Amino acid sequence: MNKFTKIIFLLPVIFCGAAYAQETPPAPSAPRSVVVPPVKEKKLPNGLTVVVVEKRSSPLVTAQLLVKGGGRHEGLAKAGLANTTADMLTKGTKTRSATQIAESMEFLGGSINSSTGWNGSNVTASFTSDKIDKAMAILADVVLNPSFKQDEIDLVKSQALDGLTYNLKQPGFLANYAASRYSFDEHPVDGTPDSIKGLTRDDLVEFHKKRYVPSDAVLIFTGDITQEKANALAQQFFGRWKDPGPLYFTAAPADVPPKYPGERQILRRILVIDLPDSGQAAVKYLKAGEDISRGSKDYYPASVLNSLLGGGYSSRLNQEIRIKRGLSYGAGSGFAWRYSKNNFATSTQTKNESAAEVAELVIAEIKKLGDRSADDKELGPRKLVLNGNFGSALETTIGIAGLLSELYTFDLPSSNLNAYMSNVRSVSNSQVRDFAYKNFKNGDIIIVGDAKLFMDDLKKRFPRTPIETIKADELDLGTVSLRKGS
């Protein structure tokens, strides 16, 4: 037997070993201890909260300015206002152009970016500690002195509209877009085509004036910096920042979901958005969580439940839909937290012909969560995943800043960092089951795809569930019926 024959002969053995390893993965190792660094806090005379976490192992610093003005403060007619305002911060100030801001941060070896969510907005800069004074001067300038030049506004709006034009032809994006209004009684933070077109410079200036205020802001420093240095920088660059006075800016009134009476019924209705000739279909289950916010005691059972259901490759949804049946490249789930509720969604894409089957599988897995408890063998590793991700976030300055930003967004104490891992470990199997039983009922399914390829099958699988169909080019979030011209 020559050496080539030996190699060929051994290949089946190697592949069998790999297959066996996939079927019987090793048990998870014992959890490692994680040291949560102390969080130091001070409030400046103008009301700005300054938070510092020292991490001196490397010469890196992240500075993040959080303001609690986000999509929830704009309303449907001005959807995208908070996001556009945040985008404009790095597009020029009274003394620096957009190019100068970018080049200056690049010269310092750092970065700066801005972003917005439903609950708030952030401006984040990362840099080395020896460049901190110059970097902070730029961060303060973009937060306090944006110029809102009309040509830059026009460019940002044009790019946003181009992005929407493309994304509204993608099944997954279109499903999320419709869900914001149909299932959660909100609106897309990125805006709608009509709302983006209607935004004016005055809108941006007013939003910035009313929402970017020190009394409703938190400046977070993490990394190679002392509390004394951080407080001095905060006072130097933000100490003269003042509130404009009482806030009269009207907030969107849609942070309380509707309540539906009746027995435990996982699915209430189905919306089909017909997107002819789409390559795939997006399938989502959606449920607004009533009275369960980020600060609720149910946050930890919900987090463990999500890890079990759709939080990674070995989660139940991915096991059933991808691994066992090969109907998708992946399936997952997640909670979007609000001040007084949460938005829960599962997400997957599949070929159009299997859309109805996937919807049925998703409902079956959600029902199973509330029918019986998971055993420790399954739930234990899911808790380890959550705590592992948390521990990884603590390893970087930007990760720590992100964890703190979430807590301060919801007015939660920084001590929650120390309690996170023990709270996750203490979640019982029955708590997960009870959460699912109480909260996953009267939800929605949204399917976006080529309806003619799955509608008959959908009606057969869900004969008692109301099914509504809207053509994709007729969708309009600005109407009660979601249809243009109604």
pLDDT value at 9 more than 80: no
Structure confidence at residue 36 (pLDDT): 81
What are 140-190's pLDDT values in tens digits? Answer: 999 999 999 999 999 999 999 999 999 999 999 999 999 999 999 999 999
Type of residue numbered 43 = K
pLDDT band at 277 (very low <50, low <70, confident <90, very high): very high
| Residue range 197-220: mean pLDDT, rounded | 97
Is residue 24 scored above 70 in pLDDT? no
Q: How many residues does the chain have?
A: 486
pLDDT for res 398: 96
CB neighbour burial string for 68-83, b if at least 16 within 10 angstroms, e if fewer? bbbbbbbbbebbbbbb
User: Average of pLDDT values for 289-303?
Assistant: 94
- In the predicted model, what is the mean pLDDT of residues 219-247? 92
Whole-number percent of the chain with pLDDT over 90 = 85
Tokens of 182: 């149909």
Work out the burial of residue 368: count CB atoms within 10 Å of its CB; fewer than 13 is exposed, 13-18 middle, 19 or more buried: middle
Helical segments of 128-258, H only: 132-144, 150-167, 171-182, 193-198, 201-211, 227-238
Q: In this predicted model, what pLDDT tens digit does every residue of 420-433 receive, in sequence order?
A: 999 999 999 999 99
Q: What is the identity of the amino acid at 223?
A: G
Rounded to an integer, the average pLDDT of 341-362 is 98
Q: 12-16, 268-272, 387-391: which has the minimum mean pLDDT?
A: 12-16
Confidence (pTM): 0.88
pLDDT at 259 over 80: no
Q: Which of 177, 211, 171 is nearest to 193 (CA)?
A: 177
What secondary structure does DSSP assign to 330-392, as a single string? -EEEEEEE-SSEEEEEEEEEE-GGGHHHHHHHHHHHHHHHHHSPPPHHHHHHHHHHHHHHHHH
The structural domains of the chain, ordered by start, are: 40-238 (3.30.830.10), 267-474 (3.30.830.10)
pLDDT at 31: 62
- Please indicate whether residue 398 or residue 31 has the higher confidence score (pLDDT): 398
User: Across residues 71-100, what is the average pLDDT?
Assistant: 96
Per-residue pLDDT averaged across 382-393, rounded?
Answer: 95
- Classify 435 in phi/psi space as left (phi over 0), alpha (psi -120 to 50) or beta: alpha
In angstroms and rounded to an integer, the radius of gyration of the C-alpha atoms of the chain is 25
**29 has a pLDDT exceeding 70:** no
Q: What is the pLDDT of residue 291?
A: 85
Q: For residue 25, name the pLDDT band (cuts at 50, 70, 90).
A: low
The dihedral through the CA atoms of 384, 387, 390, 396 has a sign that is negative
Q: Examine the pLDDT at 68 and tell me if it is beyond 50.
A: yes
Output the pLDDT for position 248. Answer: 44
Under DSSP, the state recorded for 415 is: T
Q: Would you place residue 112 in the very low, low, confident or very high pLDDT band (cuts 50, 70, 90)?
A: very high
* Rounded Cα distance, 60 and 71, in Å: 31
Q: What is the pLDDT of residue 7?
A: 37
- Residue 229, pLDDT > 90, answer yes
Indicate the angle between helix axes 201-211 and 150-167, nearest 10 degrees. 100
Rounded mean pLDDT of the chain?
Answer: 91
> Nearest to residue 437, comparing CAs of 298, 329, 343?
298
